[in-house]
Amino acid sequence: MAVGGFCKLPSGNVVVALNLPGPGAGDGAVRFLVLARNRARALTRLRNLGLRAVYLRGNAAPPTPDEITAVLHHPDHLVWRTAPAAASPELTEELWHPIRALLRKPTTRT
């Protein structure tokens, strides 16, 4: 189940934050941030990237002011990083990555 939330900006746009399971079985969670005109469009952007079962129920984990700044300043308005542990959410040092970095297929060398 995805944990997330949203924040409506003064411009009328919405920043949606979602914690989803990582691509591997035991990789933990990945936190996605999306800027869109409304929540439905933000979720559609994620679904169009292949994250089919993405739903936002409630507002349990809205984006922090730092997360909002990160997604506003990225040209794609869609970023991700590994989700911080619940015990220490403020101690993460990982930078935000563009969505292309997650969706990039690994290259095989022969």
The Cβ of residue 76 has, within 10 Å, a number of other Cβ atoms equal to: 12
Which SS3 state, helix, strand or coil, does residue 68 take?
helix
Tens digit of pLDDT for each residue in 2-54?
688 999 999 999 999 998 877 665 667 888 999 999 999 999 998 888 877 78
Q: What is the largest CA-CA distance in the chain?
A: 52
Residue spans of alpha helices (H) in 8-64: 39-48
Integer Cα distance of 85 and 51 in angstroms = 22
Please give the pLDDT value at position 86: 59
The reported pTM is 0.80
Task: Please work out, in degrees rounded to the nearest 5, the angle formed at the alpha carbon of residue 79 by the alpha carbons of 74 and 83.
Answer: 140
Residues 28 and 84 sit within 8 Å (Cβ to Cβ): no
Tens digit of pLDDT for each residue in 59-88?
888 999 999 999 999 888 999 888 776 545
